[in-house]
Amino acid sequence: MSRKYPDRPFVGIGAVVIKDNTVLLIKRSKPPRVGRWSLPGGAQALAETVHQGALREIKEETDVDAEVVGLVDVVDSITHDDDGRVVYHYTLVDVACRWIGGEARAGGDAADTAWIAMDSLAEMDLWSETERVIRLGWQMVRGKE
């Protein structure tokens, strides 16, 4: 089934990866939100747990190794066209992760990667839900150190 104009939502996974006082972001190379900064992540594969999918997507898109700390939130990303039809519908399961190794470099669906200081998030022109999830994930990871 095509992801564009789907007949059901797709499950997507996002990872809030924290290293020191920074969060790992990728620049999207595919729709939706092409060219915008976002969390590493992507579609969940068949027979893959959310945690496995998060770690796989982090590795594919950034070459970073991480460990999952826990579930941050579930967010609906629904994009409509001018006629009101659903162009994209993703149910995004976002997890908080702690960096354990690797230097970030773009791969997979990522056009670029960056470690962004938490006090610089507002400058990144992030989707409001992405910024909210990052702040919640930051609190989870920092609270467990």
**52 is a domain residue:** yes
CATH number, domain with residue 110 = 3.90.79.10
Exposure class string for 50-86: b at 16+ Cβ within 10 A, else e: bbebbbbbbbebbbbebebbeebbebebeeeeeeeee
**122 assigned to some structural domain:** yes
How many domains does the chain divide into? 1
85, part of any domain: yes
Provide, rounded to the nearest whole percent, the portion of the chain with pLDDT above 90: 89
Question: Which tens digits make up the pLDDT trace of 88-131?
Answer: 999 999 999 999 999 999 998 899 999 999 999 999 999 999 99
Q: Average of pLDDT values for 46-56?
A: 98
Residue 32 reports pLDDT greater than 80: no
- Domain that includes residue 111, residue range: 10-143
- Domain assignment of residue 45, yes or no: yes
The whole model's pTM is what?
0.92
